[in-house]
Amino acid sequence: METVDTVVWALWAMLPAYIPNNAAVLAGGGRPIDGGRTWGGRRVLGDGKTWRGTLIGTVAGTLLALGLTQIAPSVSAALGADLPTFSLRAGFGLAFGAMLGDIGASFLKRRTGRERGAAFPGLDQLDFVVGALLCALVAAPSWFTETFTLPVLVAVVVATPVLHVVTNGIAYLLGLKNEPW
């Protein structure tokens, strides 16, 4: 595959993992997952990780995967590029995994004394990628190995932080997010 084709494939394959956190920003609020509980004097996760945000983020990413699968043939033809499709298990794995990765990162942020909203460079940009890939691997192993070859994984790890910085910057400028990370 040409480099451009690899990047297009990688970004399309990761779209169901990119959407959940942004949907959670729009839909978040309500009861925090940790129920306000603390551990070692600090919140377990914090008010930024809610049941509603997690549920809506997961559903949004899963539905997007199913929609992308419907339009993949026509978009592939229009672009003259090959694009991956998603099984329900693959889409759910990516979406739920993205949310889990983000939740895991908040757990680590609280353990390292960072308040809600504090930046953790590197972790902020890749937490959901690691979560999404691991969950997709568990939920749909053969789909995963066919879709995420080594060059595709490299493209994901390089391109995602760039995309993450840009989308969060836009969300911040639009007043949707309190911080640009």
DSSP letter string over 49-88? SBHHHHHHHHHHHHHHHHHHHHHHHHHHHHHT-------H
Size of the site for ligand CTP (CB under 6 A): 19
Pick the closer one to K ion by CB: 34 or 102.
102
Segment interacting with ligand CTP (CB under 6 A) among 49-57, 59-67, 130-138, 154-162: 49-57
User: Which of 46, 61, 84, 131 is in the footprint of ligand CTP by CB under 6 A?
Assistant: 46
Residue 28's binding partner among K ion, ligand CTP, none (Cβ under 5 to 8 angstroms by kind) is ligand CTP
Q: How far is the CB of 172 from K ion (least distance, A)?
A: 13
- Please give the Cα distance from 91 to 88 (Å, whole number): 5
Q: Give the Cα separation of 176 and 4 in Å (integer).
A: 31
Taking CB under 5 A as the criterion, which residues in 69-128 touch K ion?
Answer: 102
Q: How far is the CB of 128 from K ion (least distance, A)?
A: 7
CB of 106 to ligand CTP, least distance (A): 3
Residues 87-106 contacting ligand CTP, CB under 6 A? 99, 102-103, 106
131 within 8 A of 99, measured Cβ to Cβ: yes
Query: Which of these ranges, 21-29, 58-66, 86-94, 159-167, lies near ligand CTP under the rule CB under 6 A?
Result: 21-29
Are the C-beta atoms of residues 102 and 127 closer than 8 Å to each other?
yes
In order of 39, 64, 87, 106, 154, the CA distances from 23 in angstroms are 28, 11, 21, 17, 26
d(CA 143, CA 136): 8
Distance between CA atoms of residues 13 and 94, nearest Å:
9
| Residues near ligand CTP (CB under 6 A) | 24-25, 28-29, 46, 48-50, 53-54, 99, 102-103, 106, 109, 116-118, 177
| Residues near K ion (CB under 5 A) | 102
